[in-house]
A and B are shown apart, each in its own frame.
Chain A
Amino acid sequence: MIQVSSAQVLMYPNHTLTLLLIGTYFALLLIGMVRRGREISGPWLFLLRSFFPNWRFYHDIGYQPRLYWRYADDDAQWSDWTLCMPRAAFRPRDLFHNADNNLALARQNLVDHLSADVQGLPDDGDARTLVTYRLVDRLVREQLQSRSLSVARYQFQVRLLPATQAPDDAVNLLTSPELPWS
Chain B
Amino acid sequence: MELTTPYAAIRWLEAAIGVSLLIQTFEFLRIPQATAVTGVWSWPVQRADLAHAQRWLRSVFDVLFDARVHHAHLLLRVVAAASLLLGGSALSIGFLFVGTVVILIRWRGAFNGGSDFMTIVVLSGLLIAHLAAGVIEPNLAWRAGLWYVCIHAVTSYFISGAIKLCSPNWRSGHALTTFLDGGLYGPLPVGSLLRRPRVAQLCAWAFILWECCFPLALVGPDWAIMWCAVAAIFHLLVFRFFGLNRFFWAWVASFPAIIHCAGQW
Q: Interface of A with B (CB < 8 Å)?
A: 2, 15, 22, 25-26, 29-30, 33, 43-44, 46-61, 64, 86-90, 94-107, 109-110, 113, 131, 134-135, 138-139, 142, 163-164
| Residue from B39, B41, B109, B155 in contact with A53 in the complex, judged by beta carbons closer than 8 Å | B155
Binding site for A on B (CB under 8 A): 23, 26-28, 30-31, 34, 39-42, 45-46, 48-50, 52, 101, 104-105, 107-114, 116-117, 119-120, 151-152, 155-156, 158-160, 162-164, 166-167, 169-170, 174-175, 178-179, 182, 184-186, 215, 218-219, 236, 239-240, 243-246, 248, 265
| Dominant SS among interface residues on chain B | helix
The answer to whether A103 touches B34 (Cβ under 8 A) is yes
CA distance A47 to B152 in the complex (A): 20
What chain A residues lie within 8 Å of B169 (beta carbons)?
60-61
B45 touches A131 (CB 8 A): yes
Q: A60-B167, A60-B175, A88-B185 are in contact. Are A55 and B245 (CB under 8 A)?
A: no
Rounded to whole angstroms, the CA-CA distance of A26 and B240 in the bound complex is: 31
The CB with the most chain B CB atoms within 10 A, among A2, A33, A94, A95, is that of A95
B155 near A29 with CB under 8 A, answer yes
Contact indicator A57/B162 (Cβ below 8 Å): no
Q: How far is the CA of A86 from the CA of B116 in the complex (A)?
A: 20
Q: Are A98 and B243 in contact (CB under 8 A)?
A: yes
Closest Cβ neighbor of A87 among chain B residues: B184
**Chain A, Cβ-Cβ closest to B159:** A55
Interchain Cβ contacts under 8 Å between A and B, 9 examples: A29-B155, A47-B49, A50-B120, A55-B160, A86-B184, A96-B245, A99-B27, A131-B108, A138-B45
With beta carbons under 8 angstroms apart, the residue of B49, B151, B186 that contacts A131 is B49
Given contacts A131-B46, A135-B41, A138-B40, contact A103 B159 (CB under 8 A): no
Nearest A residue to B114 via CB reads A57
| Docked-complex contact A58 and B175, CB < 8 angstroms | yes
List, in ascending order, chain B residues with CB within 8 A of A131's CB.
Answer: 45-46, 48-49, 108
Using A22-B218, A103-B31, A106-B107 as known contacts, say yes or no to A61 and B245 having CB atoms under 8 A apart: no
CB < 8 Å: which of A29, A33, A135 contacts B45? Answer: A135
Given the complex, which residues of B lie within 8 Å of A56, measured CB to CB?
Answer: 160, 163
In whole angstroms, how far apart are the Cα atoms of A131 and B42 in the complex?
11
* Most chain B CB neighbours (cut-off 10 Å) among A15, A49, A100: A49
Instruction: Enumerate chain B residues within 8 angstroms of A142, measured Cβ to Cβ.
Output: 39-40
Find out whether the CB atom of B243 lies under 8 angstroms from the CB atom of A2: no
**A57 adjacent to B160 (CB under 8 Å):** yes
- Assess the B243–A101 pair: CB atoms within 8 A: yes
How far apart sit A22 and B239, CA to CA, in the bound complex (Å)? 31
Residues in B with CB closer than 8 Å to A49 are 109-110
Query: B52 near A97 (CB under 8 angstroms)?
Result: no
CA distance A53 to B164 in the complex (A): 16
Which 9 A-B pairs give the minimum distances between C-beta atoms? A55-B159, A99-B30, A99-B27, A50-B116, A98-B245, A90-B185, A59-B163, A101-B243, A60-B167
Distance A51 CA – B265 CA, assembled complex (angstroms): 29
Q: How far is the CA of A14 from the CA of B211 in the complex (A)?
A: 27
Tell me, in angstroms, the Cα distance from A104 to B112 when the chains sit together.
11
How near does chain A come to B136, taking the closest CB pair, in angstroms? 18
Most central of A51, A54, A57, A163 by chain B CB within 10 Å: A57
